[in-house]
Structure 1
Amino acid sequence: MSQKKVPAGITAGILFNGRKGGFMEFSKNKLSKRIDWVTVALTLGLAVFGVICIASATSVGFEEGQSLMAYIGSLFSGNALRQLIFLIISIGLAVGVMFLDYNNIRDFVNYIFWGAVGILVIVLIFGSRQRGMTGWFNLPGLNVGIQPGEFCKVAAIIVFAKEFAHRTERRTIGITRFRELWPVLWKCGLLAGLVVLQPDFGTAMIYIAIAMALLFMAKTSFKVLGPLMGGGLACLPLLWLLLTPDQKNRVYVFLDPTLDPEGAGYNVLRAKAVSSSGGMWGKGLFSTDLLTQRTNYLPEEHTDFIFSSTCEAIGFFGAFLLVAFYVLLIVHLFRLSMRAKDDFGAYLILGVAFMLLFHFIENVGMNIGIMPVTGIPLPLISYGGSNLMTTMVAIGLALNVDMRRGRNNKLNLEL
């Protein structure tokens, strides 16, 4: 029986309302009762703790003659206040994403991909230069910059999920032919390449890492993976040639920070010193004994090196609990992917989980000196509206999939 063609004018309605009633369907079918509150609690807990950590890292201590209320007000002003505002906006965006029917997003994947490409091209031409890269749009009058490369991570996850699902949902075996990967490879290469031109190698590596992780989850055969990995290793010398002098210095000081203790190795040495100075139980949040309260002792203490400044405040035991919460969130997302109703949904959740995992490993690693400094933020904790909104939207997308769960996917994940 032929289906009626959907007029182009109502495609936006389909995207937000779904083909069976949108918000009414959301209420009627009790989808709201299927929200995974474990994910919600872990996410909001980490995000609120992040605001507190930013306030602690950027506080200047109690001043003589200052009232208690004035001191508390000073703690949650500036960067901490902006992060709180970003968090409120991010929650709204995440809730909005949850109302979408994620399966309808498949109809718009090409628009999402080319929209992301267009934004990355525009920011290269018209974007402002901050922290050594041209990857920002400044909002007039707000003193706030938006980093499109962050938001495009969600676009990349959607694109990769659609491509892999298209190749695995109608079969019981994984990807066995190299030509099946070509759409994923050139789309990933284009997105990552545009980000490299900023130059932002850290964000580009996140795109590539997500694509490679999903490639493994798609049960790609070794006869495809082998040449692909070999080709990637062969390109490493070319990648080294593309690095800027500052980026090469970061690699050198990663191997030996004492090569440039007052230059490229400064942040690495200070971060390690701050991380270990808290001992087992820490000096306490907002303590006047914190090294990070000394002017410029650890640059970027509320962004790139928020983990170090937090370790100083909460100690080894507190840092262990923080890491445990991240592990719980990421592992729980992997478990949610197992009950997705189709491959597309499973890949979406896996993409979100791997994005958080790679961010977490790189940021914590560079804070304790086992990974090179790349400027990758710690999700939900580091200061920055673009990354916070990206993370919350991504988690909202994962919750969206899980609310419509019903295990019919063929990935057969086991945790």
Structure 2
Amino acid sequence: MDAILWEWLSFFVRWTHVIAGIAWIGSSFYFVHLDQSLKPRESLPKGAYGDEWQVHGGGFYHMVKYLVAPPALPEHVTWFKWEAYATWLSGFALLAIVYYCGARLYMIDAQVLDIPPATAIAASLAGLFLGWMIYDALCRSTLNKSDLKLALSVFAMVLAFTILYGHVYSGRGAFMQIGAIMGTIMAANVFMIIIPNQRIVVAELKAGRAPDPALGATGKQRSLHNNYFTLPVVFIMIANHYPLAYATRFSWAIIVLVIVMGVSIRHFYNTSHRGLPPPWWTWGITAAAGVAIVFLSSFPSVARPEEKAAAAPSALAEEAEIVVQSRCAMCHASEPLWPGMGHAPKGVTLETLTDMDRHSDEIRAFAVLSRAMPPGNITKMTADDRDTLARWLDEKR
């Protein structure tokens, strides 16, 4: 019963996270689109930067943006913040439920670094804190005078974290940690910068003083950063279902390429929304990065040992069956032996050679081309074991 309750808790928290994320991403995309499409006009009210007419749901909307603030504070203002807060809170809860409580399975790989679960969790929390502190320091430095220099500095920071955690966690754990760092930066931008700056503007208006234009400019810059972070973070959110992304030898490079893809896609739309000629070249970069990801994921998850003498087909199948029985079958069984596991993951049973034949494509993807299985390499599958599976699969072709 405990396993059932835990599974449904994970499901409902994940569902909440997805719902909140849709709301946050939707508002982010909409407001960046709106901001980029505003047109300055002479007939606008005093202090207004630009306006835009939109049609939706059978009606027309006239959107006017004040660069700093309107001359007088309106009676009602809608604040966009709870979407961000709910996304981060539910995301952190999911991180704790799946990864912190399952650190031995999903974060730790003894062949990468054999550390206790408490150490793995502490390293994750430290990364969330340091990621925000370093990012915020970069944004407050003189680098913020150049959007390009600042963007490259933030990119270098993410790359450094990617390489660092690739030497600490399993592929899946490292992948999710980078997504958590980026998501924390996005939520902290809202909580620590955007909303506080807006509150200062409101307070200044109530006091009859003119707000500092730098407050709005800083908020806009951080909001745009969040917009560019969004697509890579969404990719990482769903990547745990695709081991060829997170459990290969080149998962660190795949994260880098995913960031390049996400930024290039957003740049295309953000530029187009400003009414400028669409930068079609960004799709070439996106496609090239996608092809590179597929290419990198095609390499075996570990370097193949020196070629061995070919075994007789029956003997090779027996060797592969021994590997699966000793490394995989305790979970992938009709009655799993792993504590708290009520059924075989994804319904895949690997108790016989016939089962292995039926699921050979999954074995290739999860245990040969990637190291997704066993999770955290909890059963200590060796490079020789994976090579045995690879040779058996090659023989079946």
TM-score range, shorter chain: under 0.3
For normalisation by structure 1, the TM-score amounts to: 0.25
Higher relative contact order (CA 8 A, sep 6+): 1
Larger Cα Rg: Structure 1 or Structure 2? Answer: 2
For normalisation by structure 2, the TM-score amounts to: 0.25
